[in-house]
Structure 1
């Protein structure tokens, strides 16, 4: 379902994953209305949401400047890898940014990804986790004004002091130093990563055998095996992660995925036979 068309191909396609979380998704979509970089489309990867999500998307399309493509399949449990692959195929741009329907993007978020994109690389960002009380308190006005990204505002809502708060304030040299020194690997993180569509297709997208737990990292590991490198933008591309329960998390799925990732690494696999294209 595409509700608005553009006259030209966007410079970047942004995939947002969601599942029956329209309250959070609405906040996320308003954050993209506030972006300084405007030439993008949103492709919503919907893992089987019910009618309220359809209604929200239809309403938001009337209120935002960017086109929305709604990619949906029937609910069959946690099948994020499958719906992400379907969304990848629908992307019109040659560069893809992936995030989640619980991550509010700062106004410069898309611009940072655009400025740092480079042939032969993918970009790895992180998120700033919020507690449930602040997640609920954020309004459309807070997003459009960008108050929700300002430490004084967040602290007025109960945010505690932490080294992690540097994610929201680091600029210039400090930002570059923290990106360099962070012990976190520059992996493909489904909530904040971007890369060339041609590279993602070259590794056949996500492995659809994988459910919750590291399917995004495994995609990045195959990109590495293909010869693609990564760049760390953890302190540059900022998004706020809204809190929510994770009823789909289970150890059996995590263990299965760890075994698939171990095989990807040991066999140095760049291609999965369980991705966008299936071998017969």
Structure 2
């Protein structure tokens, strides 16, 4: 395979059932010239076994970047994964976010020097998350609103994320009140820009470390484009045992400093001070 045009970082931690569904969703992508870099925050053997199995079943290359489990250290493993990326453009998502078949193609088509792309996700309830099969993913049935409604999905304005196209998609991207921030589940940017701000701040645990990276990109002069209604991924449900008020408060304080001091660089990133 020629050098990949885009590297896709997928973060995971002991969640093989969801990761397998996500990996099948990338097998269904219409844009093929990518590599997957799995940023693994200390998973046990079943995740290693799954990745080895999937390497022989999918058509894209997979690199597994792992470190010892030391609590929630997603920022650290993401920095290691960034260095492992072979493409000059990086898309970041999570091991619980299944990508619609046009997902990578949208990121590739809308990428632009001087910008990063900001997408969202469509949250599925647990019962539907569990019911989705490999066949549902490869056929793309599970991305169809009618199929999801047949499984019990309720009507909501948010369902427009799954159906918007053309002018409607452009208008919804333009009018959404959601900021075009760097969202760890659906954002892409140039590797050179991410390295220029020294990647993620490794002091940050759960809660907003992705936003803080985006805030330093803004300070560095990179702008953002909203693709919330263009790049669609389905978020599989799960509990969040690692969410603590302490880590959220600490991260908010770091972000406040980034903003007030207009920081572009973190001393706690890829290169250590």
- Both proteins in one fold, TM over 0.5: yes
Rounded Cα–Cα distance in structure 2 between residues aligned with 1:152 and 1:230:
32
Task: Say which of 177, 186, 209 aligns to 1:183.
Answer: 177
Partner of 2:79: 85
Rounded Cα–Cα distance in structure 1 between residues aligned with 2:119 and 2:43:
27
Gaps of 5+ in 1: 1-5
Gaps of 5+ in 2: none
Equivalent positions of 1:27-176 (< 5 A) are 27-176=21-170
Partner of 1:244: 238
Structure 1 residue 15 corresponds to structure 2 residue 12? no
Rounded Cα–Cα distance in structure 2 between residues aligned with 1:192 and 1:179:
14
Partner of 1:272: 266
CA deviation profile, 1:35-90 (whole Å, cap 9, x unmatched): 00000000000000000000000000000000000000000000000000000000
Which SS does the other structure have where 1:256 is aligned? helix
Q: Which runs of 4+ in 1 moved over 3 A?
A: none
Which SS does the other structure have where 2:229 is aligned? coil
TM-score by length of 1: 0.97
CA deviation profile, 1:186-231 (whole Å, cap 9, x unmatched): 0000000000000000000000000000000000000000000000
TM-score by length of 2: 1.00
Partner of 2:188: 194
Rounded Cα–Cα distance in structure 2 between residues aligned with 1:80 and 1:97:
16
Rounded Cα–Cα distance in structure 2 between residues aligned with 1:157 and 1:270:
46
Residue 9 (structure 1) shift: 1.2
Rounded Cα–Cα distance in structure 1 between residues aligned with 2:218 and 2:164:
28
Equivalent positions of 1:219-238 (< 5 A) are 219-238=213-232
Rounded Cα–Cα distance in structure 2 between residues aligned with 1:142 and 1:262:
43
Partner of 1:3: none
Structure 1 residue 254 corresponds to structure 2 residue 248? yes
Which SS does the other structure have where 1:48 is aligned? coil
Rounded Cα–Cα distance in structure 2 between residues aligned with 1:52 and 1:167:
33
Task: Tell me the C-alpha RMSD between the 2 structures.
Answer: 0.3
